[in-house]
A = this chain, B = another copy of it.
Amino acid sequence: MAPKSTPSSALTRLILGRSPSQSPAISLRHYSAPIDNTIPGAKQKYVPTSGRYPKGFLVSGTHVGVKPTNKSTPDLAFIASETPCAAAAVFTKNKFQAAPVTVSREMLKRRNNTGVRAVIINSGCANAVTGKGGMEDAEKMGLEADRCFEDPNDGKGSSTIVMSTGVIGQRLPIQKILHRIPSAYDALGTSHDHWLATAQAICTTDTFPKLISRAFSLPSSPSSEYRIAGMTKGAGMIHPNMATLLGIIATDAPIAPALLPSLLTNAVNKSFNSISIDGDTSTNDTVAVLANGAAGGKEITSESSEDYAAFQTTLTEFATDLAKLVVRDGEGATKFVTIRVTEAPSEVGARKIASTIARSPLVKTALYGKDANWGRILCATGYAQISEPGMPINEVPEIVPEKTSVSFIPTDGSPELKLLINGEPESVDEARAAEILEHEDLEILVRLGGGKEEAVYWTCDYSHEYITINGDYRT
């Protein structure tokens, strides 16, 4: 479906038609992530103070008060493209899918990944396990967002992706949300403050808003500048039962709608699907990408083109950087740990081992304790392929104990610390190990000695604070 209006006229209408405010009000930080100096000192550096945002996208973060206790923090995010655009999304595989997941998946299918105008997102309530009423609420959110545009009805139903995050099992305060959607539209803008407020509005218990933007070029038009921006939120399913990960990526590069799903899937497999906070997978997890082509240039229409490959690399790297921010803000996390499994016969096998190490409570507590505990790393490697009793054995690369090596790779560029070489334990320099483990960042390298494939996972540790956060009474 072709855009119905030129970028500039749509932009003018969007900006002038309803007089968007310059910057949403932001004050209390009781519920959503803070965006001022109450962000933990160590996380401040991850919050950008400026950005290079894609053309033709307008965004806002406004206050609804989805949670009654939230009196002023933004909890409604509106992301609009001035022209109908290509869009794709990857959704949770959890069998209990939230209503907005179902509604958005069906919308994208119905529209063949094209003609999408907006993303509307509320935090504070996940609209998950809410039955038929919840489905109707999710549909209403999309339709109310549609109505903000000139041509809400092209005969294909809603053109808005809907997302929700927050408590499971409670109905949305739908009237409050619907009532505020026109104001959210009025508040749309393109400034860094707009983007930051929008990133804040999707947060739940995150300690900082997660926003990245950057410029890139494509081989076919090296002088053109394209831009990509995105936001995400984590950080575990929490207090009382959050339905968790959301990611939204927008680019002004021109990409054929049919190519967007595979570009996103490839990127997500190496980014959002390669992180682990606690191994739980929520009812609402959704990552979406929108491409409106507003920066002009030749549309990417073939998977074999140079532009396609270049954009895939850009998107994957961008999604990886976003996903890493989720790990940085893992509940109670004191460590950011890269798990790299190399010399594997297959990537799938390497992934399985990396994810098993990343999820092992014993590895995660040892990291918290700054313990160079290669035994637990090796043990997790060794049980990565184990199936439940009675279940078929999973296919994984043959692990050969005598070929397996484990090292810590320091993040300061100093030499690796070898813990196990070809199945033989090293006499570990504990002082050196302690030095390496003092840093927030660490890489664990497992060499399988049996092939050329590799996989990478990012994870954090389990701390007392993780237990405190997640063990809290619901209040």
A positions within 8 Å CB-CB of B? 92-97, 128-131, 167-170, 236-238, 240-241, 243, 268-269, 273-274, 278-283, 347-348, 351-352, 355, 359-362, 365-366, 368-376, 378-383, 385-386, 388-392, 394-395, 399, 401, 404, 420, 423-425, 462-464, 466-468, 470-474
Q: With contacts A379-B237, A379-B282 known, is A385 near B464, CB below 8 A?
A: no
Among A94, A238, A374: residue with most chain B CB under 10 A:
A94
Residue A467 contacts which of B240, B279, B282, B462 (CB distance < 8 angstroms)?
A: B462
Contact (Cβ within 8 A) A269 B96: no
Contact (Cβ within 8 A) B390 A241: no
Closest CB-CB distance, A155 to chain B, in whole Å? 31
Q: How far is the CA of A238 from the CA of B361 in the complex (A)?
A: 11
Q: How far is the CA of A60 from the CA of B96 in the complex (A)?
A: 53
Q: With contacts A236-B362, A283-B379, A379-B282 known, is A388 near B464, CB below 8 A?
A: no
Among A269, A365, A381, A390: residue with most chain B CB under 10 A:
A365
Contact (Cβ within 8 A) B378 A96: yes
Contact (Cβ within 8 A) B169 A375: yes
Q: How far is the CA of A95 from the CA of B385 in the complex (A)?
A: 8
Q: In the complex, which residues of chain B have a beta carbon less than 8 angstroms from the beta carbon of A362?
A: 236-238, 241, 278, 280, 470
Contact (Cβ within 8 A) A379 B168: yes
Contact (Cβ within 8 A) A269 B390: yes
Residue A366 contacts which of B269, B347, B368, B471 (CB distance < 8 angstroms)?
A: B471
Q: With contacts A93-B383, A269-B390, A352-B391 known, is A375 near B467, CB below 8 A?
A: no
Closest CB-CB distance, A361 to chain B, in whole Å? 4
Contact (Cβ within 8 A) A94 B379: yes
Contact (Cβ within 8 A) B131 A423: yes
Contact (Cβ within 8 A) A237 B464: no
Q: In the complex, which residues of chain B have a beta carbon less than 8 angstroms from the beta carbon of A368?
A: 467, 471
Contact (Cβ within 8 A) B375 A466: no
Contact (Cβ within 8 A) B282 A391: no
25 A-B pairs within 8 Å (CB atoms) are namely: A95-B381, A95-B382, A95-B399, A128-B375, A129-B425, A168-B375, A168-B379, A236-B362, A237-B376, A237-B379, A240-B371, A241-B373, A241-B379, A279-B359, A280-B361, A280-B380, A282-B379, A283-B379, A348-B388, A361-B466, A362-B470, A365-B470, A371-B472, A373-B474, A464-B468
A interface majority secondary structure? loop
Q: In the complex, which residues of chain B have a beta carbon less than 8 angstroms from the beta carbon of A386?
A: 93-94, 281
Residue A96 contacts which of B170, B236, B351, B401 (CB distance < 8 angstroms)?
A: B401
Work out how many copies of this chain go into the complex: 2
Q: In the complex, which residues of chain B have a beta carbon less than 8 angstroms from the beta carbon of A243?
A: 375, 379
Residue A388 contacts which of B355, B376, B383 (CB distance < 8 angstroms)?
A: B355
Q: In the complex, which residues of chain B have a beta carbon less than 8 angstroms from the beta carbon of A389?
A: 268-269, 273-274, 351
Q: In the complex, which residues of chain B have a beta carbon less than 8 angstroms from the beta carbon of A365?
A: 466-467, 470-471
Q: In the complex, which residues of chain B have a beta carbon less than 8 angstroms from the beta carbon of A425?
A: 129-130, 169-170
Contact (Cβ within 8 A) A96 B361: no
Q: How far is the CA of A348 from the CA of B391 in the complex (A)?
A: 6
Q: In the complex, which residues of chain B have a beta carbon less than 8 angstroms from the beta carbon of A379?
A: 94, 96, 168, 237, 241, 243, 280-283
Closest CB-CB distance, A95 to chain B, in whole Å? 4
Contact (Cβ within 8 A) A361 B169: no
Q: How far is the CA of A273 from the CA of B386 in the complex (A)?
A: 12
Q: In the complex, which residues of chain B have a beta carbon less than 8 angstroms from the beta carbon of A468?
A: 464
Q: In the complex, which residues of chain B have a beta carbon less than 8 angstroms from the beta carbon of A474?
A: 371-373
Closest partner residue, chain B, to A384 (CB atom): B95
Contact (Cβ within 8 A) B369 A472: yes
Residue A394 contacts which of B348, B380, B391, B401 (CB distance < 8 angstroms)?
A: B391
Q: How far is the CA of A168 from the CA of B362 in the complex (A)?
A: 14
Contact (Cβ within 8 A) A279 B366: no
Among A376, A389, A420: residue with most chain B CB under 10 A:
A389
Closest CB-CB distance, A474 to chain B, in whole Å? 6
Give me the 10 closest cross-chain CB pairs, A-B, nearest first: A241-B375, A369-B471, A168-B375, A365-B470, A96-B382, A95-B382, A94-B382, A281-B383, A169-B425, A95-B399
Residue A361 contacts which of B95, B355, B394, B470 (CB distance < 8 angstroms)?
A: B470
Q: How far is the CA of A25 from the CA of B46 in the complex (A)?
A: 60
Q: How far is the CA of A97 from the CA of B382 in the complex (A)?
A: 8
Q: In the complex, which residues of chain B have a beta carbon less than 8 angstroms from the beta carbon of A470?
A: 361-362, 365-366, 369
